[in-house]
Amino acid sequence: FLSHSLQAKMSRPVQARRLEGIDKNIWVEFVKLAATYSKVNLGQGFPDFPAPDFLTEALTRALGGGNHMLHQYTRAFGHPPLVKVLAQFFEKLLGRDLDPMTNVMVTVGAYQALFCCFQALVDEGDEVIIIEPFFDCYEPMVKMAGGTPVFVPLRPNPPKDGKLMSSADWQLDPAELASKFSERTKAIVLNSPNNPLGKVFSRGELGLIAELCVKHDVLCISDEVYEWLVYDGKQHIRIASLQGMWDRTVIIGSAGKTFSATGWKVGWVVGPDRLLQHLRTVHQNSVYHCATIAQEAVAQGFQRELMLYGKPESYFVQLPKELQKKRDWLVQSLDGVGMKPIIPEGTYFLVADISPFKSDVPDVPNSDEPYDSRFAKWMVKNKGLAAIPLSAFYSEAHKNNYTNFIRFCFAKEEATLKAASDILQKWKQEKTS
């Protein structure tokens, strides 16, 4: 018995080397904190309002409409009706012919699209440029593929006239960006509109990135999940439409963000076959595909949007209008309590300066944890309001660069935003009284 139990205890390391240093994840921690303590959750990025009726009705129809094959496997690289309508839709957006079978692939959310890109395109020793602050999974995904992330920051240039900062005031330094490209650079990750700042990259900024990609023969992984969430009449420009970029760009999208149904986990990639063929290899050998029935309903959602393209009834026209009102409301409310917001040009996130509230949450000198992280934890535990620290969107080396900011998600019902504002107002009064 004794020798048997000794044998059963493994002594060899069980963890694959590729997981070293990437086991911590802020979402696990903050989602748990929000679930335990929050009365109002403006943390993780998902709407608390319903998905549009036309989408949920499409799902109900798919479920009960008599086509029992919708409960079975479908084509691995995307349910045919979905890839067909995505191809038609993106043909319109990009002004080029697309083959639904080779230029489009459906994934388990944009998350799996990103995973396929890094696994398929990044080799041991390759460098991948990531613009900070960034959606946090890019870094561990590059590392898991054996690549080395190389960071380049968006630097804030606060307006001199005392006006609120805009996400447009966070900019790349062209010389600094150029200095990050080298022989070893395989790809750059672009996320416009950007999570967490809400920055919508301008044509000039995209042109600069495109020029460097062409000059150094570098791929562009373009995460455009917030493509429809752009405000104040700004335009989302697709880098793939710039000269020389189609051939080297993979566009990533998400039905979760597009149709306010993040739990469905339907995403896609659009790009040239010479890149997508390798993504298909990863996809084929990992998850195979996501739920057929969700793909069917998203296909119907896109058919509707194709018909109503650019019209006032289109969800892609209505959603940003609604969200812009919510953004403006939250901007005003945060400004009112002195938590200065950085006005986002896009996405449903807003980053705000916590300085006036810092005296309630003392710093711990020499702690490894950035101050904003401690602040966000204190706020959810003591005030019941969940938000995400900006430092979570920086690499380990740069996580202490900006520790005065937290990110709020404003894709929320009016009542939720009002409840958040009430918490902050009450807190401010307690401080001043």
Residues in touch with ligand PMP (CB under 6 A)? 45, 109-111, 135, 191, 195, 223, 225, 254, 256, 262, 265, 267
- The encoded tokens of residue 166 equal 């805009």
H or E stretch at 132:
strand 127-132
Quick one: angle between helices 53-64 and 292-307, nearest 10? 130
In the complex, the smallest distance separating the C-beta of residue 155 from ligand PMP, rounded to whole angstroms, is 20
**Residues 6 or more apart whose Cβ sits within 8 Å of residue 328:** none
Smallest distance from ligand PMP to CB 195, Å: 4
Tokens of 63: 């479920």
d(CA 25, CA 213): 30
C-alpha atoms less than 13 angstroms from C-alpha of 130 in its C-beta half-sphere: 26
Minimum Å gap between C-beta 85 and ligand PMP is 18
Residue among 126 and 223 whose Cβ is closer to ligand PMP? 223
To ligand PMP, the closest distance from the beta carbon of 361 in angstroms equals 26
Nearest distance from residue 130's CB to ligand PMP, in Å? 12
For residues 108 and 289, give the distance between their C-alpha atoms in angstroms, rounded to a whole number: 7
Min dist. Cβ of residue 252 to ligand PMP (A):
7
Query: CA–CA separation, 214 vs 275, rounded Å?
Result: 16
Tokens coding 234? 């700004």
Encoding tokens for residue 110?
């944009």
Residue with Cβ nearer ligand PMP (205 or 223): 223
Q: What is the DSSP letter of 346?
A: B
Which of residues 259 and 375 has its CB atom nearest to ligand PMP in the complex? Answer: 259
Using CB positions, name the residue nearest to ligand PMP. Answer: 109
Q: Which long-range contacts (CB under 8 A, 24 or more apart) does 208-215 make?
A: 208/172, 208/174, 208/177, 209/177, 209/239, 210/239, 210/242, 210/243, 210/244, 210/245, 212/177, 212/178, 212/181, 212/188, 213/188, 213/244, 213/245, 213/248, 214/243, 214/244, 214/245, 214/248, 215/181
Classified as helix, coil or strand, 384 is: coil
266/334 with CB nearer ligand PMP: 266
CB 264 to ligand PMP: min, Å: 9
Identity of the residue, 147 or 267, whose beta carbon is nearer to ligand PMP in the bound complex: 267
Q: Please, where are the H alpha helices in 190-314?
A: 203-216, 255-258, 273-284, 292-307
Give the shortest CB-45-to-ligand PMP separation in angstroms.
4
CB 289, CB 106: distance < 8 Å: yes
Minimum gap (Å) between residue 111 Cβ and ligand PMP: 3
- Interatomic CA distance for residues 43 and 1, integer angstroms: 51
Q: How many residues does the chain have?
A: 433
Kindly state the smallest distance separating residue 81's Cβ from ligand PMP, in Å: 19
Are the C-beta atoms of 196 and 393 separated by less than 8 Å?
A: yes
